[in-house]
Structure 1
Amino acid sequence: MDFTGFPVAALDFYDDLEVDNSKSFWEAHRHVYEESVKAPMVALCASLEQEFGAAKVFRPYRDVRFRKDKTPYKTHQGAFVPVGPRRGWYVELSPRGVRVGGGFYASTPAELAAVRAAMADDRSGPSLRRILTKLEKAGFEIGGDTLRTAPRGYDQDHPRIELLRHKTLAVGRSYGFEPVIHTPAVRTLVREDWRTLRPLVRWLDTAMAAAEEPTG
């Protein structure tokens, strides 16, 4: 299947799913999800695979085993292209339109320690700050889960404390409901954004990979 954009029916589907997140609605509209949401997302990722790698297109079902919210279905469709465990590029379709991003969404304790060590280092830390500053100037938003205070082992007055507080780091931008998301041209936007995010993804991959290297 060639990628031709995300149809309006995909956004309508998620608008309705937010109102009626039930098995009966899902079963009655499964064909809309398969044809208007999943198929275009798979086609988009396949068209970018040669440059960035194979994507994981996430399942639509929520894991509700340990959650108070028992609604069974996700109200967005995401896809993730990993360069390593828990880090890489991301694209998402939701009732709020299309969003593109990159970063790391989770880590082992060793990986997080390695990321923070790289942030604190006087060579690699300033490099990350420059990357993020450039991305912000290009219109990206810097996000992720953060601590309220300094992480253990680091001073509150560290020159890069705002980076060290991060438990995850996600950088992205939204195209919302812009008409382009319904056309093949949105693929170009995703491709260019992922290319722009490549220095960040590489920095994180280098930092986190240090925690995965065998010792001894």
Structure 2
Amino acid sequence: MTFDGFPEAALDFYDDLEIDNSKVFWEANKEVYKTAVAAPMTALTDQLADEFGTAKIFRPYRDVRFSKDKTPYKTHQGAFVAAAPATGYYVELRAPGFRAGGGFYHAEPDRLAALRTAMDHPRRGAELEEILASLTATGWEIGGDRLKTAPRGWDKDHPRIELLRYKSLTAMRDYGFDEVIHTPALVDRVRSDWRSLAPLIDWVTEHGRS
């Protein structure tokens, strides 16, 4: 399937779902989800698969078993291409528009320890700082879960303490309602974005081996 862009109906669908997150609404608009959201997202990621790999298109249903929020449906559609455990490339469509990104969203204790050891290393840590500085300079927003204090065993005055505090690390670019999201040109834009993120993904993949 060729990607022709996300129709306006996709954004309208999520606008309405945020107001009425119910099974009644979902059943009445299931076909809109399939044709305006799921099908274009699959087409977009399929056209990127030759370079980055096959994407996982996330299910639209929320797992409410352990959540206080019992609304049954996600108010966004995400897709993820894994390069390593919990590490890879991401795109998302939601009511506020489209965004692309990547990084690592989780690390088991032994993997997180390996990443922090690499952050501590003078050369490897400096490489990551340069990667993040380059991304920031070109408009990427660096984020992730962070400790409020220094990780156990690390000096709070460490020269790279800001890196060491990360428990997850991501870079995101928000397209909002840019007209490109409604056109086939979005494929090349995302391809370019993901190529820009490749140094970060490669660094995490290489140094996150426990």
Match of 2:97 in 1: 97
In structure 2, what is the equivalent of residue 130 of structure 1?
A: 130
Structure 2: segments with no counterpart, 5+ residues: none
For structure 1, list consecutive stretches of 5 or more residues without a partner in the other structure: 212-216
Q: How far did 1:85 drift? A: 1.2
Alignment of 1:83-162 (within 5 A): 83-162=83-162
Give, in whole Å, the separation in 2 of the partners of 1:111 and 1:33: 37
Question: Normalising by the residue count of structure 2, what TM-score does the alignment of the two structures yield?
Answer: 0.99
The alignment partner of 1:197 has SS state of helix
- So what's the TM-score if we normalise by structure 1? 0.96
| Residue of structure 1 in register with 2:28 after alignment | 28
Equivalent residues in 2 for 1:189-204, closer than 5 Å: 189-204=189-204
SS at 2:74 equivalent:
coil
Structure 1 CA distance, aligned partners of 2:177 and 2:149? 37
Runs of 4+ more than 2 Å apart: none
Q: Secondary structure at the match of 1:40?
A: helix
Which residue of the partner structure matches residue 214 of structure 1? none
Q: What is the CA–CA distance in structure 2 between the aligned matches of 1:97 and 1:186, rounded to whole Å?
A: 13
Q: What residue is the counterpart of 1:78 in the other structure?
A: 78
Structure 2 Cα separation of the partners of residues 166 and 37 of structure 1: 33
Could you tell me how far 1:207 is from its partner in structure 2?
1.3
3-state DSSP of counterpart to 1:123: helix
Please tell me the root mean square deviation across aligned C-alpha atoms, in Å: 0.6
Cα distance in 2 for partners of 1:67, 1:118 equals 35
- CA apart distance, 1:178: 0.7
Task: Supply the distance in 1 between the matched residues of 2:74 and 2:150 (Cα, whole angstroms).
Answer: 33
Q: Residues of 2 paired with 1:170 and 1:97: CA distance?
A: 19
Between Structure 1 and Structure 2, how many residues are aligned? 210
C-alpha separation in 2, matches of 1:109 and 1:62: 26
Say yes or no: does 1:45 pair with 2:41.
no
Q: Give the whole-Å Cα distance in 2 for the aligned partners of 1:60 and 1:170.
A: 22
- SS at the partner of 2:145? coil
Give 1:100's aligned amino acid: A
CA distance in 2, matches of 1:85, 1:167: 14
**Matched residues, percent identical?**
61
Per the alignment, residue 4 of structure 2 pairs with 4
Local SS of the residue matching 2:32: helix
